[in-house]
């Protein structure tokens, strides 16, 4: 094997990305399938604290980043629900809170390895407006890259950042070439509560107008950075009459399905959002709005959580027929996609 190639698991590559991003501290609570990110970090002799629950982990991160430390956590499912407590403080105070969310089946304890059912929670959890960065990686290279970006962009733009992955991805072990990916430059952290001057920092307001102004400013900042942050993958779209929209690991099955369907002469293409918040809206409009597109097929391992975002983001004048293929909590295999698209194409 070449030296620049590594046989590595999703959890290991996430830990490697956090180390390479300059992360200084991890707070965590064990939960499948995110545990191995925590134990992998500890085995790499990195600083950590195992807290009494995800709530404490979340708020300890808030405290750490206020002091200027790059801190993060990894969790899943019910732990992700509890993590929204600290995340909402991070959203309100614009704290660079980094979370690796490994989706498992839900609701409740659900199943322990896989789903795409934490999309709404990651994007819009908490009693706020969803002003957070949410990345959905497909494959290990992208998992590495997006984890690096989560640290960089949260510290650069001061929004909490969530890498929304799943247990299948974290447990995948494959050969990855890291050298090119490692070249990403790090955004340094800085003390949000300074040592050399005194600040008074509210997180609760007396007047509605004060909160209104804060939120409007935060939204304006979020919109301004969106152009720099949004990412998507588009495949075989030029002549596509059917556009499949999928995110994360489902994107892998879709890409393989498109290869097979194209051999049968079916004109099918892919739109895969890489960032879910902010959403690559312009790219979506361009791909879906193209005149030859007759049908949009949503494929996801949930009951329409991505579909709701897509319908919300798509320009209202783009009138296309949608088909929803929902597999809540279930992996979606290439064969199933090929079968379903052939039915739709008739």
Chain positions contacting another protein, by CB under 8 A: 24-25, 27, 49, 51-53, 55-69, 71, 85-86, 89, 93, 191, 193-195, 198-204, 206
- The answer to whether residues 305 and 252 touch, using CB atoms and an 8 Å cutoff, is no
Looking at the Cβ atoms of 69 and 186, the one nearer to another protein is 69
CB of residue 145 vs another protein: minimum separation in angstroms?
A: 27
Looking at the Cβ atoms of 193 and 220, the one nearer to another protein is 193
Looking at the Cβ atoms of 45 and 343, the one nearer to another protein is 45
Question: Which residue in this structure is represented by tokens 């497909």?
Answer: 138
CB of residue 93 vs another protein: minimum separation in angstroms?
A: 8
Measured distance CA(192)–CA(113) in Å, rounded: 36
* DSSP 8-state assignment for residue 186: P
* Residue 137 CA: distances (Å) to CA of 31, 134, 186, 270, 295: 20, 10, 20, 15, 25
Measured distance CA(341)–CA(346) in Å, rounded: 9
Question: Which residue in this structure is represented by tokens 């059912």?
Answer: 117
CB of residue 137 vs another protein: minimum separation in angstroms?
A: 27
Instruction: Tell me the DSSP string of 67-122.
Output: TT--EEEEE-HHHHHHHHHHHHHHHHHT---EEEEEE---STT--SS--STTHHHH
How remote is the C-alpha of 25 from its chain's centroid? 21
Looking at the Cβ atoms of 205 and 324, the one nearer to another protein is 205
The candidate with the shortest Cα–Cα distance to 222, out of 316, 97, 94, is 94
CB of residue 21 vs another protein: minimum separation in angstroms?
A: 16
φ, ψ at 245 (rounded to 5°): -115, 125
Looking at the Cβ atoms of 63 and 304, the one nearer to another protein is 63
Beta-sheet pairing, 25-28 with 71-75? parallel
The DSSP bridge partners found for residue 165 are 102
The candidate with the shortest Cα–Cα distance to 246, out of 122, 145, 341, is 341
324, two tokens? 């929803």
CB of residue 68 vs another protein: minimum separation in angstroms?
A: 7
Looking at the Cβ atoms of 198 and 346, the one nearer to another protein is 198
CB of residue 71 vs another protein: minimum separation in angstroms?
A: 7
Looking at the Cβ atoms of 58 and 77, the one nearer to another protein is 58
Measured distance CA(96)–CA(192) in Å, rounded: 10
| 3-state SS, residue 27 | strand
CB of residue 63 vs another protein: minimum separation in angstroms?
A: 3
Looking at the Cβ atoms of 195 and 317, the one nearer to another protein is 195
| 3-state SS, residue 243 | strand
């Amino acid at each position: 094997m070449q030296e620049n190639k590594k046989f590595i698991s999703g959890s290991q590559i996430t830990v490697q990305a956090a180390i390479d991003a300059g992360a200084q501290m991890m707070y965590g609570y064990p939960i499948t399938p995110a545990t191995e990110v925590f134990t992998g970090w500890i085995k790499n002799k990195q600083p950590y604290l195992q807290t009494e629950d995800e709530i404490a982990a979340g708020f300890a991160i808030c405290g750490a980043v206020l002091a200027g430390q790059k801190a993060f956590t990894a969790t899943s499912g019910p732990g992700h629900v509890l993590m929204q407590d600290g995340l909402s403080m991070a959203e309100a105070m614009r704290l660079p809170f980094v979370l690796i969310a490994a989706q498992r089946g839900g609701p409740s304890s659900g199943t322990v390895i896989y789903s795409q059912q934490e999309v709404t929670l990651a994007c819009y959890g908490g009693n706020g407006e969803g002003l957070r960065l949410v990345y959905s990686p497909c494959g290990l290279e992208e998992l590495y890259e997006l984890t690096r970006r989560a640290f960089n962009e949260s510290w650069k733009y001061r929004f909490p950042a969530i890498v929304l992955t799943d247990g299948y991805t974290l447990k995948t072990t494959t050969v990855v070439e890291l050298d090119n990916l490692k070249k990403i430059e790090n955004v340094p952290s800085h003390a949000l509560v300074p040592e050399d001057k005194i600040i008074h920092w509210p997180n609760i307001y007396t007047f509605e107008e004060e909160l209104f102004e804060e939120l409007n400013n935060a939204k304006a900042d979020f919109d301004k950075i969106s152009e720099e942050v949004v990412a998507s993958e588009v495949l075989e779209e030029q002549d596509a009459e059917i556009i499949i929209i999928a995110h994360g690991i489902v994107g892998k099955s879709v890409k393989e399905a498109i290869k097979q369907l194209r051999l049968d002469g079916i004109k099918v293409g892919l739109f895969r959002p890489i960032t879910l918040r902010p959403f690559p809206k312009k790219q979506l409009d361009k791909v879906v709005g193209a005149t030859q597109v007759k049908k949009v097929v949503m494929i996801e391992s949930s009951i329409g959580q991505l579909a709701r975002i897509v319908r919300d983001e798509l320009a209202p004048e783009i009138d296309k027929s949608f088909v929803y293929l929902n597999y809540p909590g279930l992996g979606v295999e290439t064969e199933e996609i090929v079968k379903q698209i052939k039915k739709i194409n008739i």
